[in-house]
Structure 1
Amino acid sequence: MSLSPDARPPLALRRARAAVGALFLTNGALYANLVPRLPEIKSALDLDNASYGLAIAAFPTGAIVSGLAAGWMVRRFGSGRVAVIGTVLTGLGTLAAGLSPTFALLVAALFLGGASDSITDVGQNTHGLRVQRRYGRSIINGFHAVWSIGAVLGGSMAAGAIALGLPLDVHLGISLAIFATVAVVSLRFLLPGRDDETADDAAAGDDAAPASRAAGLRAPRLSARTLAIATALVLIGIGGALVEDAGSSWATLYLSAGLGAPAALAATAYVSLVGAQTVGRLLGDRLVDRFGQRTVACAGGVIIALGMGLALAWPSVPGTIAGFAAAGFGSATLIPAAMHEADELPGLRPGTGLTIVSWLLRLGFLFSPPLVGLVADSAGLRTGLLVVPIAGLLVMFLSPVLQGRRIARA
């Protein structure tokens, strides 16, 4: 059953929270180890910006193809097992991408990594929300903060590998070995049992779960209002995805090729984005409790639009790094907010809203790389990166669909 806000969680629940955090950490770190080395792969394969963007788009394409299967896999095998297996496969995909000798093999490797990442994402968020229901208060932003810490760790590992001249295969092989081991060890500390427990189950105790599951088997009634809110949540999540993709796919390339920064310094743009995002997510639960999802998201949109807009208007290496940091801070709570509120949409079976929104927000990761690449080839990468302040404006416009304040469960 769920705890009162002041109650100390039992040891097994604290361990489950730490294990979910470990899964988020590995998920953030694996792809981030590859990101700063993508320009190196682009150069080795002699790709233009459009081809590079299409190759990067293979990652979210794989995620979209596999995304709807994630819900079935979680129900069939359990969210913990799905998240761990997906983590290992994601690591194998990133290693294969680094070793790819041709454009086609690079696309195939990134497709595998994206497909596995999507399944991991649903698995770890499903388990994280299950732990949150047992806690009886919001902890989801904390999990996503750990994901950002993992991304900072992965990006920093990559920057260090570049500075040391470490070959791609050695660097990515070390990354896979470390983070796959962490994920496998975390499995034994996750919550046992089924994953279809609702918030009411957690509040009422385990005896209420069978009735809730029986209710969940009835056909859902999806109102037009619920559909409109779900659509807005998807777009808010896409806004966050556009910001993250701009940092992962283009920040290093923009600083190195566009502004002439050395490779090691150029890699810090992505690190600054996820670093600031980490700070925002560590503060996120308290900010949401105090001001509500709506106000926090709207303020985040303002920070994204102004920070990156000014950086693009007056380009410099320090200003651009600061602009990506502002975008990371502003986007910190967007995807967690969209996932959390989607999981509580009325008229849907438990987990359905989360799966659908998680799947659809991947469209931002799918369409952003080729769109930015096409614009970059015709008008320059600086113009292509206008997608970031536009995403901030989108979030500002849609933020009223979010909760005005967080409603805590006793």
Structure 2
Amino acid sequence: MTASSTPPRPIGATDRPARHARIAVAVLFIVNGVTFASVVPWLPAIKDQLLLRNTGLGLGWAAGPLGGLAVGIAAGPLAARFGSGRTATRGALLGLLSLPAVAVAPTWSAFAISVFLLGAADAVTDAAMNAHGLLVQRRYGRSIINSFHAQWSVGAVGGGLLGAGAVALGVPRVLHLSGMAVVLAAAVALAARWQLRGPDHIERPPVADRHPAASTGAVHASRGVRQAVRTAPWLLLGFASLPMLGGVVEDSAASWAAVYLRDTLGAAAFVAGLGFVAAQTMMVVGRVIGDRLVDRFGAGRIARSGSLLAAVGMLAVVAGPVPLVVVAGFGLAGLGVATLFPLGLAAAGAIPGVRTADGVAVASWLARLGFLVAPPLVGVVADAASLRWGLALVLGCALIAAVLSGRLPDDPTSE
């Protein structure tokens, strides 16, 4: 076995490159969280300036997920050619270039195109930075992927707060978003110097070494996302479904918690907003403690237990007679699905014969599909029956995730 094919050893106290690479990936996650969140507080002002109705604003903002679906799957081939670190860096910089374009968009079409580019760049960055994070995790020899997603959540909250502050203080939109783009681009450029060097494949042992039964053809079958799907279609689909199902549960709090608490249970405006806050707060908690739990109990057990906890939380949401119970239910659901996204990506990126970036790209693409489809699906059921029944679909997604989680490998760093 050559030096380049030797599996990376667990990190030691003197392994500075791996520690530096972890910081570089953390910066990418934080910047990614801040980028989109910086725009959200400005949406009402953009709506007023462009004289948009709610439908027009919604359609323009939906261009972001559409851009992600259209381009995100290309993250795998791009990472194979340029490396996951360089791909994530370029995607992040492209997304930041889109911020001033969103700020100065003079028409609905220009706004939608800018948001489309922002969503496309976000999708490539998301898949590539997760793939690079998994390479760093293999160097560490223990789970660290959940901590990256916790940092993303912190970045999203921070970006939203900074944006809200800029709006409240009357800072010009173009000044705020352009200033954020410059500062964040500088952070990304500096952090890029600490990323792992060389092609991604040198951080993974050959397939034959990891799984003796795997043939050389399986190695070559990993060239491209299509071949990745052909290599292990059902295993890849099962792992990739976990981020999608977790995303459906997560989105239920963002899209429907306030409406459900206000319209169904008669909660005041402040209380109605607590459902989303509870879910997001508990997701951060779950991701902060997630790596230690995974190392101790295994990824499969944690994902399965978390999915069941999310199901209990959604049951409290659907059956809860008072707002306090429903808010607590959304909090439990957020805690339960906190690790599903990172663990699903990690498993999809570790399938034998599948390049890390290809597996992650497929999982990330399905997750974005879930975020795009879930809100209107719940809305259709709510209009046909009630929002309570619509949220019952989310409960079903949590139960399906519990079943699929049983296939996750207990060691997130093994393949």
TM class by shorter chain equals 0.7 to 0.9
Higher mean displacement: 250-259 or 303-312? 250-259
CA displacement at 1:117 relative to structure 2: 0.6
- Secondary structure of 2:283's partner? helix
Is the contact made by 1:39 and 1:253 (CA closer than 8 Å) also made in structure 2? Answer: no
Which residue does 1:363 correspond to in 2?
369
Structure 2 length-normalised TM = 0.80
Q: Could you tell me how far apart the structure 2 residues matched to 1:315 and 1:180 are? A: 48
Amino acid at match of 2:71: S
Show the 5 A alignment for 1:88-167: 88-97=93-102, 99-100=104-105, 102-161=107-166, 163-164=168-169, 166=171
CA change 1:224–1:82 in 2 (3 A) is closer
Amino acid at match of 2:115: L
Q: Could you tell me how far apart the structure 2 residues matched to 1:321 and 1:109 are? A: 35
Which residue does 1:14 correspond to in 2?
19
Which residue does 1:294 correspond to in 2?
300
Residue segments in structure 2 that go unaligned for 5+ positions in a row: 1-5
Say how many residue pairs are matched.
398
Show the 5 A alignment for 1:165-176: 166=171, 168-176=173-181
CA displacement at 1:140 relative to structure 2: 1.5
Is the contact made by 2:99 and 2:178 (CA closer than 8 Å) also made in structure 1? Answer: no
What is the Cα-based RMSD across aligned positions, in Å? 3.8
Which residue does 2:221 correspond to in 1?
219
Provide Cα deviations, 1:37-90, integer angstroms capped at 9, x if missing partner: 546656765434x65554443222111111222122223333222212211222
Q: Could you tell me how far apart the structure 1 residues matched to 2:339 and 2:377 are? A: 25
Is the contact made by 2:87 and 2:124 (CA closer than 8 Å) also made in structure 1? Answer: yes
- Secondary structure of 1:26's partner? helix
Higher mean displacement: 38-47 or 216-225? 216-225
Show the 5 A alignment for 1:4-403: 5=10, 7-38=12-43, 41=46, 45-48=51-54, 53-97=58-102, 99-100=104-105, 102-161=107-166, 163-164=168-169, 166=171, 168-200=173-205, 218-219=220-221, 226-249=232-255, 260-261=268-269, 270-311=276-317, 313-314=319-320, 321-372=327-378, 374=380, 385-386=391-392, 388-403=394-409
Provide Cα deviations, 1:113-150, integer angstroms capped at 9, x if missing partner: 11101110122122212212222222222222221221
Provide Cα deviations, 1:245-295, integer angstroms capped at 9, x if missing partner: 344555577778985526xx8776545433321221121122122222222
Structure 1 length-normalised TM = 0.81
Q: Could you tell me how far apart the structure 2 residues matched to 1:225 and 1:307 are? A: 36
Is the contact made by 1:53 and 1:369 (CA closer than 8 Å) also made in structure 2? Answer: no
- Secondary structure of 1:200's partner? coil
CA change 1:226–1:194 in 2 (3 A) is closer
Q: Could you tell me how far apart the structure 2 residues matched to 1:305 and 1:343 are? A: 26
CA change 1:201–1:400 in 2 (3 A) is closer
Is the contact made by 1:198 and 1:350 (CA closer than 8 Å) also made in structure 2? Answer: no
CA change 1:308–1:65 in 2 (3 A) is same
Is the contact made by 2:286 and 2:335 (CA closer than 8 Å) also made in structure 1? Answer: yes
Higher mean displacement: 140-149 or 150-159? 150-159
- Secondary structure of 2:352's partner? coil
Residue segments in structure 1 that go unaligned for 5+ positions in a row: none
Q: Could you tell me how far apart the structure 1 residues matched to 2:185 and 2:382 are? A: 36
Q: Could you tell me how far apart the structure 1 residues matched to 2:166 and 2:34 are? A: 14
Higher mean displacement: 373-382 or 61-70? 373-382
Aligned-residue identity in percent: 41
Q: Could you tell me how far apart the structure 2 residues matched to 1:163 and 1:356 are? A: 40
CA change 1:316–1:55 in 2 (3 A) is farther
